[in-house]
Each structure stands twice: as C-alpha cells, then as structure tokens.
A = this chain, B = another copy of it.
Amino acid sequence: MKFCSNCASPVSLSVPPGDHLPRFVCANCGTIHYENPRIIAGCVIEHEGKILLCKRAIEPRHGFWTIPAGFMENGESVQQAAAREAMEEALAHVRIGSLLAVVNVLRAHQVHIMFRATLTQPSFGIGPESLESQLYAEAEIPWPELAFLSVEFALRRYLDDRAKGREQLHFRDIDWRDGKPVMTDGDSQ
C-alpha cells in the first residue's frame, strides 16, 4: 500500500495512538488502513465413497489437485462460500455438512475453513478455474500432486475420521521457517 484509498495522499507505516501494531496511516485525511487475514472456504465432497478433486487451471499451484476452495466474499456465510466454490470449480451442487478443519496459514495471512459435503445431484464438471475434475477412491488420491498443505491435512483427517465412523473438527497452524513448513496441531474436537 502506497497511497490513501480515501484521498490519494501517500501513506506511511506508523503505530496509531492507542494501537500496538504499525498500520498504513494517511497524514492528510487521518484514515488508518487496516489489513487483516482473509478466509479461504472449502469442502471435502464425498460421493459414493469417493472424493471429488479438481486440477487447478490457475496459479498458484497450476496443474496440482485440490478440493474446491477459495476466498470468502462479502455478504455470504462461510458455508455459502464453500458451496459456491464447489459450484465454480467443479460445477457441483453440494450440501454442506459438519466443520472438518480450521487451518491458520500464518505467513499467507489466511484462515482455511473446510467443511464436509456431499453432492445433492450425481453430476459434476470442470469449472473455468479447473483443468479436470475427478472422483477419487481413497487408495487413488494423488497425494504427491496435491496443491496445498492445508488440503492434504483436511483430506487425511477426513479419511481417518471416516474410517473411525466419526466427524471431528481438526486444527492446525502452518508456518514457514528457513524455507520449510512448520506445522502445529491443536486438539481435535
């Protein structure tokens, strides 16, 4: 951020009175420009025992596989965002179920919120942000070709819970140090 979105004057980083973190502040009009984490909403979609994955047609991670997931928009719920992403990426009508995972992706300033879901119609397709969509049996999931660590986490916990006949909620923090991911799990519930 270089300029004030309210008055077009240059902004500078400083800690506002009563605050404890540096913000982009406009000396001309006084506006404080806060920046906050964004929510990625997604869902693990099961149909006839298989999991629906999409091959990404966009960066980052073009050509890798993911569950439908993307930035939550203003005016929708997290659940609606997850269902919308299923429609956009896989042309899939889904029923959103229980909450599966909350993953803090610290360096990216993101919180990934993933639900369980099922198809409400036995059809799906390839949305504009996908190269392919495919139902994978558990033994066929392309683990080395998954796009994101949070997606691998959600899928592994989903399948582990399914094998145990339960639906738990799982927490993980993903940080990045010296070029390597550092992952810390919270208690499941």
Chain A residues packing against B (C-beta within 8 Å): 1-8, 11, 18, 21, 33-39, 71-79, 98-99, 102, 104, 106-107, 109, 111, 128, 167, 169, 171, 173, 186-187, 189
Contact = CB atoms under 8 A, between A and B. Distances in A.
Contact of A74 (B36, B39, B78, B79): B36
Contacts of A5: 1-5, 11, 33
A189 B169 contact: yes
B128 A104 contact: no
Contacts of A78: 102, 104, 111
A81 to B, nearest CB: 9
A37 B39 contact: yes
Contacts of A106: 75-77
A30 to B, nearest CB: 15
B99 A169 contact: yes
Give the copy number: 2
B6 A4 contact: no
Contacts of A74: 35-37, 109
A7 B3 contact: yes
Contacts of A189: 98-99, 167, 169
Given A36-B74, A39-B39, A99 B102 contact: yes
Contacts of A39: 36-37, 39, 111
Contacts of A99: 99, 102, 169, 171, 189
Given A2-B5, A74-B109, A128 B38 contact: no
A168 to B, nearest CB: 9
A157 to B, nearest CB: 14
Contacts of A102: 78, 99
